[in-house]
Amino acid sequence: MSSQYDDISVNTLIAPGTFIKGDMHLEGFIRLDGDIDGNIDTSGKIIIGKNARVRGNITALAAVINGIVEGDIVAPEGVQLFSTASVRGDIVTKKISVEENVFVQGQCIVLDDENAFNGAKSLWQDKKAIREKAFAETRSAF
């Protein structure tokens, strides 16, 4: 992570009542309390608030999920799922913490070893790309 960003200060805040449609590429620590239909990519940590909703994939250094995510989460440093969290998608990380009553529908790939993690992440991305291509070709046939 760049030295101008830290794990304490929020660099980007998306407030409750805010709706964003489109992909976001941001630097640093993000707190999301609104809704986004699109992918989020950040070099830092992301917190998804209790009333927040994401329809898209999240790529971050670490992720804290309290709200709804309908997409994949890739966060090498760790994923925390609190009791109000709902995830419909795959999770790829080195560490995970899950409270009671969390809803997860998808694969969970958790590997602490750096080489094993990178290999599994690469394999997961390849399989995901193949599935998406096959689905697109099937849809275009109809």
Residue type at 13? L
Tens of pLDDT, residues 65-118: 999 999 999 999 999 999 999 999 999 999 999 999 999 999 999 988 888 888
Q: Does residue 8 have a pLDDT over 90?
A: no
Burial class of residue 21, CB neighbours in 10 A (0-12, 13-18, 19+): exposed
Predicted local confidence at residue 78, as pLDDT? 97
Entry pTM: 0.84
Predicted local confidence at residue 139, as pLDDT? 67
Q: From CA 68, how far away is CA 17, in angstroms rounded?
A: 15
Rounded to an integer, the average pLDDT of 17-28 is: 95
| Three-state DSSP state, 53 | strand
Q: From CA 96, how far away is CA 3, in angstroms rounded?
A: 25
Tens of pLDDT, residues 40-64: 999 999 999 999 999 999 999 999 9
